[in-house]
Chains A and B, each alone.
Chain A
Amino acid sequence: MATETGEPAEQTSQEYAGRFRNHQRIERLLGKGLYAFAALMLVFLWLPLLIIIFLSFAQSPNLLPFDGLTLSNYQGIAGEPGLRSSVVASFSIATLSAIVATTLGVLASFALTRYRFPLREVYRTFGIIPMVVPGVILGVGLRFYFLTVGLNPSFLATVLTHSLYGLPFVLLIVSARLYTFDESLEEAARDLGADPLTTFRDITFPVIAPAVGAGFLFAWVRSFEDYIRALFVSGINTDPLTQWMFGKITKASAENLNVLNAVSTLVVLAIAVGLAIAMNYGNVTGYVAGTNADDDE
């Protein structure tokens, strides 16, 4: 094309080479810019958490003027009234509700993937809705309803609420696993004379076990970190960790902030350790993102 204008071929190729180098430079700059922006976003995600961790070792909860480092904030945790019982309450609520959610969710996943029945789509949609309804509305609705049927805000009401809230997470993860499960394995087992219970124990369960575990963990974490649903249904005698923390945040004195920073740091630390173990053990990314659900690494 360029040769048609009659220019010497050498000059054209030099010009092209120059443009190519320019192009490469722009390409490299843009590539670096993209990576720099991505790194900046990781900083955005981490900066406030790092500040909490740093302040948990500081004398005063204000960054400036900086008064020096101390471990006394962590010593203060031990004598904190109500903290221990609220941690116990949160653990019990999360564990019980996750057990219920996992049992119901696994069974429902089998129904959705192994049977065709009328209203199947409706069933699935309503199985996902508890995760989508804003927490305030689910909490308020269940509070009014529980009060009317005679169940006062209590430990039991919170477990029931959270078991409903955790159901969608189990349902989504386990049914995704069952969809990709090779059903001919089950058929082969049954053809060879295994009854449905044996087939489930020896064939199906080992394959879906990681998904069931992931669903349980998700339901557990969701219950443990929930504040707003528990606010409406937990009542005055049950005080989950989130209620305790929220109380401290709203009454933000220096001592309260110091204790909160230490507790928050311990929460981040516990999750860091738990996540590292989970990621070594199973395909956490796959379950979170819903990608490559068909291989377990």
Chain B
Amino acid sequence: MAAPDRDETLRAALVRGLSRRRTGLGVTAGPGAIWIVLLLIAPLAFMTAVSFASIDSVTFDIVWEPTVNNYRDLVVGGTSEYSLGPLVYKATAFEKAVLLSYAIATVATVLCLVFAFPLAYVMARLDDRAFKIVIYLVLLPFFTMYLVRAYSWRLMFGQSGVLNQVLGAVGIGPVAAFEFGVPAVIVGLTHAYFPYMLITLYASLDGLDFSLIEAARDLGASRVDVIRDHIIPLTLPGIVGGSLFVFVPSVGAFITPQILGQGKVQMIGILIEQRAIGEATNAATASAASMAVVFSIVVAMFLVFRYVDLDELGGV
């Protein structure tokens, strides 16, 4: 009879504890806080510290002497020449990778927005049965492994990829744009993050009162007027949120440029991987490059969140 007694006292103690506000807060917030401090804040802080240290070239140990050399090396001493009229700028591998990543991510984001908006609009106006079918067709790729989807484009592109084979068969011949490279990476990223954009846009269009739009049209507003004055302002949180969900992961993409770039597309994710475990291992450089990217993303998000609240971004 001892065991049930102990259970009873334990339970009573638990109940008493949980009824107290401070214990309740500690039990609910505590475990998550420990996880966040130990597995998120500490590693990022450590990485920041390493980015200001240097690596012994013989023993690969971290030498804890504060230096900004790692950051300086990211932007100084470039060899690739870019000329803008009389101005000649020598870019480093890091600068090239950052520029390329931002450019590719921007194009992918714009493509996602342009491609997804009409479909999201149609989805918001479908009847229940048709909607169920379409949302199934959208969610299935959304939940399909990212790697499988990147691989699917690996089959489409390339010298002997499906696209060039089909074009060759009808006599148009292999097209250079369908070989591995920047266009393939852009298509791969657009395809990978298209569902995120679509679902975020749909969430904001779903709450839209379409009678407003009909009223505006009845009162003589043109189609362009309605889109500019009603649809875009009312769905702005969805547009900004969806763009963020495409842009941020696209900047840091690794799998897509690795598989669809075939060594020709050196995005920032690939550069950091090479410095971290790849051919040019240097923990300090990798940390500095990572922190620079994190900083640029934080600045971008700060600018965005002046306009949109995090709460409005929807579930996922």
Taking the closest CB of chain A, its distance from the CB of B185, in whole angstroms, is 14
User: Which residues of A are found within 8 Å of B15, using beta-carbon distances?
Assistant: 195-197
Q: Decide if A163 is an interface residue (CB 8 Å cutoff).
A: yes
**Digit string of B259-281 for contact with A (CB within 8 Å is 1, else 0)?**
10000000001001100110000
Q: Decide if B99 is an interface residue (CB 8 Å cutoff).
A: no
A45 touches B141 (CB 8 A): yes
B122 touches A34 (CB 8 A): yes
Q: Decide if B211 is an interface residue (CB 8 Å cutoff).
A: no
A169 touches B25 (CB 8 A): no
Taking the closest CB of chain A, its distance from the CB of B94, in whole angstroms, is 14
| A126 CA to B144 CA, complexed, in Å | 27
**Digit string of B193-224 for contact with A (CB within 8 Å is 1, else 0)?**
01100011011001100000000000000010
Q: Decide if A212 is an interface residue (CB 8 Å cutoff).
A: no
B151 touches A42 (CB 8 A): no
Name the interface residues of A137-155: CB closer than 8 Å to any CB of B.
137, 139-145, 148
A142 touches B39 (CB 8 A): yes
Taking the closest CB of chain A, its distance from the CB of B127, in whole angstroms, is 13
- The main secondary structure of chain B at its interface with chain A is helix
A62 touches B165 (CB 8 A): yes
Q: Decide if A289 is an interface residue (CB 8 Å cutoff).
A: yes
**Digit string of B239-254 for contact with A (CB within 8 Å is 1, else 0)?**
0000000001101111
User: Which residues of B are found within 8 Å of A93, using beta-carbon distances?
Assistant: none
Q: Decide if A271 is an interface residue (CB 8 Å cutoff).
A: yes
Q: How many residues of A contact B (CB 8 A)?
A: 100
Name the interface residues of B6-33: CB closer than 8 Å to any CB of A.
11, 14-15, 18-19, 21, 24-25, 27-33
| A139 CA to B136 CA, complexed, in Å | 32
From B147, B156, B310, give the contact of A51 (CB < 8 A). Answer: B156
Q: How many residues of B contact A (CB 8 A)?
A: 98
Taking the closest CB of chain B, its distance from the CB of A240, in whole angstroms, is 10
| A274 CA to B123 CA, complexed, in Å | 23
B29 touches A123 (CB 8 A): yes
User: Which residues of B are found within 8 Å of A287, using beta-carbon distances?
Assistant: 315-316
Name, among A37, A140, A169, the residue most crowded by chain B CB atoms within 10 Å (CB to CB).
Answer: A140
| A264 CA to B41 CA, complexed, in Å | 36
Q: Say which one of A9-17, A76-84, A110-118, A181-189 lies at the interface with B.
A: A110-118
User: Which residues of B are found within 8 Å of A35, using beta-carbon distances?
Assistant: 122
B255 touches A167 (CB 8 A): no
Name the interface residues of B130-167: CB closer than 8 Å to any CB of A.
132, 134-149, 151-156, 160, 162, 165-166
19 contacts between A and B (CB under 8 A): A37-B119, A44-B115, A46-B137, A49-B141, A107-B31, A114-B24, A134-B249, A137-B252, A141-B287, A144-B283, A145-B47, A163-B35, A225-B145, A246-B255, A249-B154, A267-B145, A275-B139, A286-B315, A289-B200
Knowing that A47-B156, A48-B156, A264-B151 are A-B contacts, what are 7 other residue pairs whose CB atoms are under 8 Å apart, sorted by A's residue number? A38-B121, A44-B191, A49-B144, A137-B290, A137-B293, A148-B46, A289-B202
Chain B residues at the A interface, C-beta cutoff of 8 Å? 11, 14-15, 18-19, 21, 24-25, 27-33, 35-36, 39-44, 46-47, 50, 115-116, 118-119, 121-123, 132, 134-149, 151-156, 160, 162, 165-166, 168-169, 191, 194-195, 199-200, 202-203, 206-207, 223, 248-249, 251-255, 259, 269, 272-273, 276-277, 283, 286-287, 290, 293-294, 297, 301, 310, 313-316
Q: Which 9 A-B pairs have the closest CB atoms?
A: A134-B252, A290-B314, A290-B315, A48-B152, A111-B29, A108-B32, A145-B43, A289-B203, A111-B28
